[in-house]
Amino acid sequence: MKHPSDEELRGLALGQLATGDSIRVQRHLSRCHEACLNRLIEIELQLRLSGPLSLSHEVLCDPRRPLFLCHDTADGLFYLRVERQGRKWLACHWGDQVEGIRECRTMREANERAIQDFRAMFPEHRCTARCCANPPLETTR
């Protein structure tokens, strides 16, 4: 198993890798865990100390609106969407292999829950140019 270079990990952290390279590195991180994931964390820490990272949930989300995001993960496209249903809010997520819904009291709580759930399922994921807010409707569930 060939480990990614520091340049590849930096490119992943900045969302600058081509889609194929990003997926390859993310798959490696999901299998390698400690050594490469620790290197990525060190690189991200250095980048954060020197300035903001490029794409992130904070950049993609408007906190005044229900989120609707698409992430290009190593497992394929993965969607997060917050919807109102009566008096409650639903934090929905789905992809090729998983689907789930959580009920929340407020839109803000649902937005935060959706992002927390995504980060728990894909801790190695770093956004690329293919990750976007408000994806076209024909690509959704």
pLDDT of amino acid 30: 85
Looking only at Cα atoms, what is the longest distance across the chain? 51
pLDDT of amino acid 61: 64
Q: Give the phi and the psi of residue 25 in degrees, each rounded to 5.
A: -70, -40
Question: pLDDT digit string (tens) for 56-69?
Answer: 555 556 677 899 98
**The residue type at 141:** R
Listed range (31-45, 77-91, 96-110) with the worst mean pLDDT: 31-45
50 vs 84: CA distance, rounded Å: 39
- Tell me how far CA of residue 51 lies from CA of 14, 22, 47, 120, in angstroms: 11, 22, 6, 25
Could you say which DSSP state residue 4 is in? P
pLDDT band at 14 (very low <50, low <70, confident <90, very high): confident
77 vs 10: CA distance, rounded Å: 22
- Tell me how far CA of residue 54 lies from CA of 4, 35, 85, 120, 131, in angstroms: 20, 24, 33, 21, 12
Find, among 115, 19, 24, 20, the residue nearest to 5 by Cα.
Answer: 24
Instruction: Give the start-to-end residue ranges of the domains of the chain.
Output: 6-50, 57-139
Question: pLDDT digit string (tens) for 17-75?
Answer: 888 888 899 889 888 867 888 888 888 877 766 654 444 555 556 677 899 988 888 88
> What is this structure's pTM?
0.60
The pair of structure tokens assigned to 70 is 């698409």
